[in-house]
A and B are shown apart, each in its own frame.
Chain A
Amino acid sequence: MILQINFKSGMPIYLQLVDQIKAAAASGALRPGEALPSIRPLAEELRVNRNTVAKAYSELESLGVIQTLPGRGCFLKENHSALRKEVRRKLLTEEIDQAIVQAHHLQVPRAEFLQLIHERMEALDDKRRAHDEQKGD
């Protein structure tokens, strides 16, 4: 898992880390039970404040994405979101609504938008398969 910070995205740095680790988990770049990098080397490598990385990790922990084992580090949990189903749906709905607004302004019609969602989901599946094959080697 390689993480990268983009200072031109306008998004807080800790949230960029949270999003990228969630994406890595979804694509299989990080598997359940695998360890996340320790805070100090990751902060040094990205040259970001140590407390920013710590904040991202505690956010991921409260979201139920990772768990901290005292003295051993942080690990990716099995796919069990700590949130109830309707909360999860609501969070996703907000993100989808934003994408729909964006599609409107970029003049992407409905059918093309839905097609694009299929394509992106397949791309993610492909990535996950590729990671699984690597694991098999």
Chain B
Amino acid sequence: MFRTASVLAALAAVLVATMPVGGLAQNAPPSRLDDLLDRYAAGREPDLIATTFPDHVTFLDWRVELFTRAREWRESWQPVGATLLLEISFWGARQGWPEAYLISRAAEDLVTGRQAVLGAAPAQDQFEITFHRAALAWLVGARSLGQAEEYLRRVGNRLASASEPDAGDNRLRDPRVALTHGILAEAWTAPGALAPMSGSTRLPALAADARDGETRAHLGRALAALDSAAALPEVAEEATVRRAFVLHRLGRDEEALAALGLENAPADSTVRYWRHLFLGRVFEALARPAEAAAAYRAAADDWRGAQTPAVALAALFQRQGRAADARRWARVAGTAPLEVIDPWWHYWSGDLRFLPEWMADLRRSDP
């Protein structure tokens, strides 16, 4: 029965894919939005969104047309429209537009409202996965953690309601989305996440204290999710390193040390760098300062010019009474080359570091 349904779904997808571009869109007069979509798909104007919508007033002039056309793009399955909308929502969020969230929801509706059922059109499934990755990366990176939680819930519900849950589940069980569950749970304990506008004065992160119950609960959830993600080969290294940092923050330093003792250095240079930093933290917590210094030096060697290992070494030496060494490393930290982007700055931003690559993939793909 499932096979029959799959065939029908595949046929339906083929039909949809080979249909002329939808009636509404085709019958509508060419608009400035069509022109914008073409130029966006061509990908030759990196500042296209910013120059098209320099301010909110300009956006308001496009708003009705944009939402109307979003529905048409869904009917006629023009996925690049979703990518364009997502990119506009990012820009709008940065500018503080109140419609930014609605724009991203319109983009999401376009993708998840496709006619091909889950599992029936692999290229469309892949597009949807990348779309979810990108949307989640943005939400976590922007510290919109509540919205990110809702997004993950919607993705989960979509899988549960799929006509063919097995097929859909398999194709949409994306390792990075799985990892995002762990990243997101820990992000709730990131600096500022628990106390951004509330007047609270907690210093929730990085203290390796996890003293308050709320923080501990989030870290417990993070640990469970990262445990699961660590079983997925594509994200195992990052999940393991992030999991070790959570263990350290929970005061379980021996376990953290064991987790960081990977057989092979992580292939992802950012994850490798994080591992060195976290080893330094764990060794400090275990009162093994020489090994901590060695780990921080390895981070500095691995990512030349990065600020954070120098800060860590300066603080470590200062506390050991090694004033000259401390000052030397403080100087290194304060004069780090401007062109060097320290991967530590990405840690709390989840997959934001991949966003440009994923958005480029989405813009180019035509499933």
A binds B: no
